[in-house]
Amino acid sequence: MANTSENQSDNKREPREKELPAAMDVLRGAHAQFTALTGMTAESVSSFERSEGGWTLCIEVLELARVPDTMSLLASYEVDLDRQGELTGYRRLRRYERGRADRNP
């Protein structure tokens, strides 16, 4: 026999105003929105985290293809999304050649 007090407490839970999207859904949506706005395609996501107002991620983008490929210019972009995964802003943080590593401080 089921415990009726547990069932009643489950029914009293208040529904969330809107379910938050899963992390993979946020990443896919951010990729599509960024590509649509800029015409550039993200090569990778180098960081991803929930922020106070939604989500913040850093993506790596091919900005200028060169030959050889190690001389191509890439850029890191910080992308801000609201709680539902809608893009609210982006900014380029840096540009670099594909074959060049960061300097250690």
Task: Look at 59 and 41; give whichever has higher pLDDT.
Answer: 59
Please state, in angstroms and rounded to a whole number, the distance separating the CA atoms of residues 53 and 87: 12
CB of 58 closer than 8 Å to CB of 79: yes
pTM above 0.95, yes or no: no
Rounded (5°) CA angle 21-22-27: 95
Average pLDDT over residues 51-78: 94
pLDDT at 8 > cutoff 70:
no
Instruction: Please give the structure tokens belonging to residue 12.
Output: 């009293």
Sign of CA dihedral 69, 75, 76, 79: negative
pLDDT band for position 104 (cuts 50, 70, 90)? low
At residue 102, the pLDDT reads: 72
